[in-house]
Structure 1
Amino acid sequence: MFRLSYESLQLLWLDEVDNFASLEPEMRLLIPILGALAIFLFAIITRFKHYRTGIPFVIYRVKNHNGLMPFKNTLNQFFGGMAALASGFSVGREGPSVHLGAAGSSFIGNWLKLPYNSIRILTGCGIAAGISASFNTPFAAVLFVMEVVLREYKIHIFIPIMLSAACGSVLSRLVFGDDHELAFLTIAEFDTWMYLYFILFGAVLGGISTLFNMQIMNIIRWFRPMNMFSRLLLAGVITGLVGWFIPNAMGTGFSAIHWVVAAPQDIQLLLAILLAKFILTIFAIGLGIPGGLIGPVLGLGALLGATLMYPLGLAYEDPSHLTSSFAILGIAAFLTSVVHAPLAALSAVMELSNSVDVVLPAMMVIVPSYVTANQLFKNSSIFIRQLDYQNLPYTTSSIRSTLQKVGVLALIDREYKLFMDATDKHILDFLDTAPTHPVVQKSTYEIDVQYFLVQYDYSLNKEGSPLRFFPMQGVSAQATLAEVYEILQHRREGAVYVQGSTPHSIVGVITWDAVRSYLYRKEY
């Protein structure tokens, strides 16, 4: 729906999708400004606090909120992203695709009252389906979720995400056809000595990706004091002015890739489009236009790859037959270093070009690109940089990460004994006959109900009661063991009760000892 919406809007003033060169210069100046005003209008309607969108926000929600996505942010992403893409901003459709896929799946999971650990996996499924449907790249979608969002490989996660990516790709083929968007890029046969050049090629792109990430963060820092309206308007003006002179730099980046192949001999225009695309992308992302980053990165990678092909003119009289090959290798290397997802980048260029011949040369550029960016220049993923700047946590402890994967219903003890304001003698009589069953005392007050876990007092205090009463907090049946751990870790004793259909109903008990025992279990 999202892709059809923004493409339908574009076709109201373009002769084909993303071809902004078909517009008159005055319209290329006006449309991005109107698009910025539309984005601001949607932000007003949904309120500014719900403006956070895109892949960094999704990573934050997956890591800290079990993948549950706010509804108003999703509306902002749909309509704001639609306006951004329709008006020619240098942003990609994968950012909205990730956000909308995560939101749609989490809404369904929460409506079905699934456990939060299941919703977290379901969110990953929605992300994979969204990317796969957007680019018809199911394998790359699976690896993107594993490498960038969840950052783990588990078979019980892998299987449903694979299925979701396949479903997304099938639906995309039914609606948009079975075309691969970069299938026109062909891989030539390379001389053996050229693999040495690939190492240098990848290293250079790793350095450029570091510069690219740094400039995006600089734009974010420099223009943060400006209000939102001024930032969006500035992005619209810059896009319109640059688009007036170089229309091929506008849009998601695929039009630039088509131009690279169509006219590879014009090196001056190639460099002009490269510089213009670089400027438009860092300002669009840095000033808060609600779109993705990967689309423009694909375009920039192709432009950089074609540019770095020209030194081969020393060895070949006319290296233009290698243009397609170096364009797709540039995409692989640049995408790897910008988002730190080498496997996703490798699979993406393989699927987008519909060719397995790209695998070996792509590996030869991906490795030096990643090592140069990560080890030499200490360049982290652009998504991680954005999260750090916004103070959005995306890391968890190993204990919390383990417990987030298990719902409370997996460890609940339903064989508990419930007493209603019973005396100590009644409770002691029961404990003497069934010492292993949790005992819960329910105390009813005028406006509240309180549950207590009752256990023997092993402190050897002969003057006090032989029983200890631990106040219990309730947790939702959707909760994970991570929430239980957060409640009990301070005292390292006691228990929580799992709520039933109402907050004060109880369906079972989880003790601290049960949580601790689970953590000590050996896993394969």
Structure 2
Amino acid sequence: MADSRDKSDEAPVVARELAIVCLVAAVAGALIGFVGGAFRWCLLRADAARIDLLGWAHELPGPGWLIPMGVTAVCAAIAALIVRWVPFASGSGIQHVEAVSRGEVDPPQFRILPATLVGGVLSIGSGLVLGREGPIVHMGAVAGAETARRAGMNADHQRLLQTSVSGAGLAVAFNAPIGGALFVFEEVMHSFRLRTVVPVLVSVAVGVACSRLVVGDSPDFSVGPVDPPSITLLPVFVVFGLLTGVLGAAYNRAVMGSLSVVDALRSVPSVVKATAIGGAIGLLSAASPPATGGGDSLVQHVLSGGALAIPLVALYVALRFATGPVSYAAGTPGGLFAPLLALGALWGVLYAGICHAIVPGIDSSVAVPMAIVGMASMFSATVRAPVTGAVLVMEMTATTSVTVPMLAAVAGAFAVAQLMGSSPIYDSLRERMLAQLHHPPRGD
């Protein structure tokens, strides 16, 4: 009788605690919805201004390429200065979110949010090959932790809220609510718990609703009707997934290798290193604008069925494979997802073009399905969150007709990357971050 009475007394307490957590999650979700939406709006304006600047510089007499080179260098330098003030604003921020969720570091402080917001607009908007999702996920985590802190919650609840609202950040970044929620369960927590599921869903729903008031509710990419590929082509997609696993493992090593090279230059101040990288990317943007930036416009061109010569696609694949890791090594705020998706889409188009040339029965119509599958497969190979990757891409493209070949390719990419001994990219970045916290690099 006593045990039964104790349990009945505990139930209202648990329900009350969950209700309070959900209320705080809704407030924090609204905050990241408006802040993340504003961040996306600023990036759209910055990208348009960058393209206008490139066109204007190209028409100038003399070395007009010095203008984009100088602008990107200066923006990268300012972003690096911001990171010197707030070190946790560096890079994607997702590794910080995961470390907080595991109890390895303290919940994030509010100053990370404005630092990431301003630094991200400067670095991503100036043309560095970085994504918007990392900063928005990080800002969502900060919003969750800070709202819990202001509500008088303890450190355990602050961790819970920072983890929950980080999913709202990803959902806002890509207008993908289901993908944002799955990201928390599959990538950050590696589990489904009632204590987390409900606040995640609440914050995601509120966050996406608020962000749509700022940036609209259209999918990230406009894709026309895509016919389901013939089941006879399934082996072609499986082989593509296996090859993407190799590419993804190589990309992860390129990211970590670039960071190691930059770290080895201990006598060079971080701002100088960021300035040099920004200048190099700015110079490349003057020569080939599609090779720089997050890559959304290039992906949209591909998914709209726009024609690109196969040699040009191969060049873009090579350039973006190199510029993504180099841009990330600058240490400015910026994520990895968007450049990964662009690389995956281009790689899919390249593979489709090669198959069209050498495999009987494959025509050019397979390029768009392969680009969509390439985005999900590349995500799976690098991040090692296959379900999140597949759902995220389906939401971003509003396309489900390639689900079967996508799942087959995603599974193949995941398996090969695992067999190659490649660590998931955010595990590697988290370990690097923790090592630097215990043994700060000398210099600066």
SS in 2 for 1:175: helix
Is 2:245–2:378's contact at 8 Å kept on the other side of the alignment?
yes
Is 2:285–2:292's contact at 8 Å kept on the other side of the alignment?
yes
Distance 1:263 1:127 in 2: 35
Instruction: Show the counterpart of 1:211.
Output: 250
1:232-255 deviations in whole A, cap 9, x for unaligned?
Answer: 012112211222222101111212
Distance 1:8 1:176 in 2: 12
Q: Please identify, of 170-179 and 340-349, the stretch whose mean Cα deviation from structure 2 is larger.
A: 170-179
TM-score by length of 1: 0.70
2:230 paired with 1:191: yes
Instruction: Show the counterpart of 2:377.
Output: 333
Instruction: Show the counterpart of 2:321.
Output: 278
Instruction: Show the counterpart of 1:385.
Output: 428
Instruction: Show the counterpart of 2:387.
Output: 343
Q: CA deviation at 1:335?
A: 0.5
2:307 paired with 1:268: no
In the alignment, which of 331, 354, 360 is matched to residue 311 of structure 1?
354
**Structure 1 residues 12, 244: closer, same or farther in 2, change over 3 A?**
closer
**Structure 1 runs of 4+ with >6 Å offset:** 19-23
Is 2:277–2:327's contact at 8 Å kept on the other side of the alignment?
yes
Is 1:90–1:252's contact at 8 Å kept on the other side of the alignment?
yes
In the alignment, which of 398, 406, 426 is matched to residue 362 of structure 1?
406
Q: CA deviation at 1:159?
A: 1.7
Which structure is higher in RCO with an 8 Å CA cutoff and minimum separation 6? 2
1:184-224 deviations in whole A, cap 9, x for unaligned?
Answer: 26533322221011111100000011111111111111121
Where do 1:162-173 residues align within 5 Å?
Answer: 162-173=201-212
Larger Rg: 1
Instruction: Show the counterpart of 1:8.
Output: 45
Instruction: Show the counterpart of 1:465.
Output: none
TM-score by length of 2: 0.81
Which runs of 5 or more structure 2 residues have no equivalent in the other structure?
1-37, 59-63, 438-444
2:119 paired with 1:80: yes
Distance 2:258 2:116 in 1: 21
Is 1:58–1:67's contact at 8 Å kept on the other side of the alignment?
no
Is 1:186–1:353's contact at 8 Å kept on the other side of the alignment?
no
Q: CA RMSD in A?
A: 2.4
Task: Letter of the 1:345 partner, please give it.
Answer: G
Instruction: Show the counterpart of 1:321.
Output: 365
1:273-297 deviations in whole A, cap 9, x for unaligned?
Answer: 1111111101011231310000100
SS in 2 for 1:193: helix
Instruction: Show the counterpart of 2:285.
Output: 243
Distance 1:52 1:305 in 2: 27
Instruction: Show the counterpart of 1:117.
Output: 156
In the alignment, which of 26, 37, 44 is matched to residue 77 of structure 2?
37
Where do 1:42-191 residues align within 5 Å?
Answer: 42-44=82-84, 46=85, 51=90, 54-64=93-103, 68-184=107-223, 186-191=225-230
Is 2:229–2:402's contact at 8 Å kept on the other side of the alignment?
no
Instruction: Show the counterpart of 1:431.
Output: none
How many percent of aligned residue pairs carry the same amino acid? 23
More strand per residue: 1
2:241 paired with 1:202: yes
Instruction: Show the counterpart of 1:231.
Output: 273
Which runs of 5 or more structure 1 residues have no equivalent in the other structure?
395-524
Distance 2:423 2:112 in 1: 26
Instruction: Show the counterpart of 1:505.
Output: none
Q: CA deviation at 1:48?
A: 5.2
**Structure 1 residues 204, 65: closer, same or farther in 2, change over 3 A?**
closer
Q: CA deviation at 1:155?
A: 2.2
In the alignment, which of 293, 302, 312 is matched to residue 336 of structure 2?
293
**Structure 1 residues 309, 35: closer, same or farther in 2, change over 3 A?**
same
Distance 1:169 1:362 in 2: 26
